Amino acid sequence: MADYLVIVESPAKAKTIEKYLGKKYKVRASMGHLRDLPKSTMGVDTENNYEPRYITIRGKGSTLKELKQAAKKMKKVYLAADPDREGEAIAWHLANSLNLDLNDDLRVVFNEITRDAVKDSFKHPRKLDMDLVDAQQARRILDRLVGYNISPVLWKKVKKGLSAGRVQSIALKLIIEREKEVNSFTPEEYWSIDGQFIKGKKQFQANFYGVNGKKTDLPTSESVKAVVEQLNGKDFTVDKVTKKERKRNPAAPFTTSSLQQEAARKLNFKTRKTMMIAQQLYEGIAIGRAGTVGLITYMRTDSTRISETAVAAAKDYIGETYGAEYLRTADRKDKNKKGAQDAHEAVRPSRLDKAPADIKKYLSRDQFRLYKLIWERFIASQMAPAVLDTMRVDLSNNNVNFRANGSKIKFNGFMKVYVEGTDDGSDEKENILPDMTTGDTVQSLNVDPRQHFTQPPPRFTEARLVKTLEEIGIGRPSTYAPTLDTIQRRNYVTLDNKRFMPTELGEIVYALVAEYFPEIIDVTFTANMEEKLDAVEHGKMEWKKVIDEFYRPFEKEVQKAEAEMEKIVIEDEPAGIDCELCGKPMVIKMGRYGKFMACSGFPDCRNTKAIVKEIGVMCPDCKEGHVIERKSKKNRLFYGCDKYPECEYVSWDRPIERPCPKCDKHTLVVKKLKKGNQITCTACDYKEEEQK
């Protein structure tokens, strides 16, 4: 017979913890929050010190009833929700709903779901931390005041279903401002000169550096021509050889933000998917006879701190697996970023006896890939630096200077396990130069001038946007994924080749918010608000005061917007075709999931059609249909024949009209690479770079 009831958020977490605690404990799940502000009304009394009105969430009544019945039979109830603001608030709502004594030690927290961590937490229960609860309430009420005041204005003036929020408005602002930069960008011409050289039998590459020892730009073809004409023969003299030993340190263990960024780069995961799978790994996976095991520490954190126990375990593992030379000789001294709460550790494996390869058969493909990423990042973070031998060679011919850079990995250190990804996809590779000394002569095999044009700043990927939000102090670990999800669901932005682009609707909403609610899209103001919420968490500010300082001027802005904002009508665009059912013109409408075609005779005629885009290429299979752009269920762009289902041609890569110059078949496609596009033939091995 159980004596104690433990309440957690999810059944998976309940199953794992119950196994560790034994027969005296019954563990049940609340399925997240049981109480919240009502959806139908504001739920915040702005005239009565911002008193919130919480109600039982629709559909959670039966869960609450079951928990109440279970609590009556127990000696004591423990609340073991996640160790953050949200978890503390869930525990507080449960305590109120179950009429528990708020002065009792009923809260238990653990950073990892392992037997030792869970059992130890029940030896040290504590009272509810009302500063954490108040910080969550402040954020929730603040977001409710913004959303439930601005959204109705947008519904009246633009269209129903729109919303505006503090963090999502900043994210939208960043995307729109970057789009303006891209559209206003004027490419500038510049040139480079690549040289292929030989020393003995070893070939190597060097690039033009300058003239008379001074770095020189090549803005035009005329400047290139002048340099090439100055060259005198093929012999180059080695003017200087610089050799150095360089150490490269491993990246710090994952925070929520860096995990989301790296999962996007290396696994192609969206932030929402990363957090969903990380939650599964944290709560526990069934590992054969071992039962359900929590595999990683809590995944919502902005700290890079690691416990001494985990560091010691990592040292033992590295020494036994890779050898003593791979052990760090000095402790890591990672600095947390400004504003980091350091409430719990970095994201790391909770148990080093569960290596990814050993438990692969128990994990789904995506669970394994994310777990392996977290495992390797943590192990590498505790390993010795890599040591690289670098070599720089300066060459000259008639005062024209070329420079070659080479590197060789002397000791791979942490790179044996893991190397951090980059946003541009470039990796550090070995480039071994032949041995050279000052005064040597080398010969040029080829001098190749290349024309280039400066590129606009890159549009935001999910990883780059999360990184930028973190750098400017907007949002916290728990907010990044829902923020990016919201602006996509609202159709304020779309993803094109994994990069955010604003929609017409997004630009309209942003322009209105910027005009009438400037503080909402002010980066400094929003970052300062995050700091005030953090101050509430640490007991340094009173939460109702923080809200009042924001709401009083904001309330006047809402009144002004309601009175002055003009109604915006999003006109239907002519589609250029007639309805095949009634003959009336079709128009392009803006829907919840983007634009679509509909009959102008609505509601008499309800015909609708998806918008398809022809790319000007005949179908390479049937030779009768045209290739059109389509989108998969996961919103990924692909190409197919408009004669489908009669013709089943489909391709992820964009086909082009001309035949392959090698095999003469109409099988050329454009592959999108991390750096530029490549034209390849699907019938032979022909490849070429696409010229923009």
Q: DSSP for 514-574, please give it.
A: HHH-GGGG-HHHHHHHHHHHHHHHTTSS-HHHHHHHHHHHHHHHHHHHHHHPPP---PPEE
What gap in Å lies between CA 196 and CA 208, rounded to an integer? 11
- 3-state secondary structure at position 111: coil
**Can the peptide bond before residue 603 be classed as cis, meaning omega within 30 degrees of 0?**
yes
CB count within 10 Å of CB 342 equals: 11
622 torsion bin: left (phi>0), alpha (psi -120 to 50), beta (else): alpha
54 is catalytic: no
Q: What is the DSSP letter of 461?
A: P
For residue 618, give both structure tokens. Answer: 């005949």
Given 298, 510, 516, 639, which residue is catalytic? 298
Q: Which of 347, 271, 249 is nearest to 305 (CA)?
A: 347
| Sign of the four-CA dihedral 82, 85, 90, 91 | positive
In which residue are the tokens 């001309």 written? Answer: 658
Q: What are the distances in angstroms from CA 285 to CA 39, 278, 289, 363, 593? A: 34, 11, 12, 8, 35
Q: State phi, psi for 422 to the nearest 5 degrees.
A: -130, 160
Structure tokens at 455: 């590129």
Take residue 58 and report the two structure tokens written for it: 């629709």
Nearest-10 Cα torsion for 643, 645, 647, 650: 100
Task: Give the containing element (helix H, strand E) for 406.
Answer: strand 400-411
Can you tell me whether residue 239 is helix, strand or coil? strand
635-to-209, 336, 490, 593, 594 alpha-carbon distances in Å: 45, 36, 15, 10, 11
The pair of structure tokens assigned to 414 is 């942490």
Give the chain's length. Answer: 692
Three-class secondary structure of residue 642 per DSSP: coil
Distance CA 289, CA 470 (A): 41
Q: Which strand (E) or helix (H) includes residue 209?
A: strand 202-211
Question: What's the rounded Cα separation, in Å, for the pair 609 and 536?
Answer: 52
CA 336, distance to chain mean position in Å, is 19
Structure tokens at 617: 């290429």
- Which of 175-202 are b and which e, b meaning 16 or more Cβ less than 10 Å from the residue's Cβ? bbebbeeeeeeeeeebbebebebebeee
**Of 244, 247, 426, the residue nearest 328 (C-alpha):** 247
Please, what's the b/e burial string for 474-493 (b: 16 or more CB within 10 A of its CB; e: otherwise)?
bbbbbbbbbbbebbbebbbb
Rounded distance, CA 318 to CA 297, Å? 20
b/e sequence 266-288, b meaning 16+ C-beta within 10 Å: bbebbbbbbbebbbbbbbbbebe
User: Which letter does DSSP use for residue 266 in this model?
Assistant: H
Structure-block tokens of residue 635? 């919103």
Strand partners, 641: 627
Which sequence positions are flagged as catalytic? 298
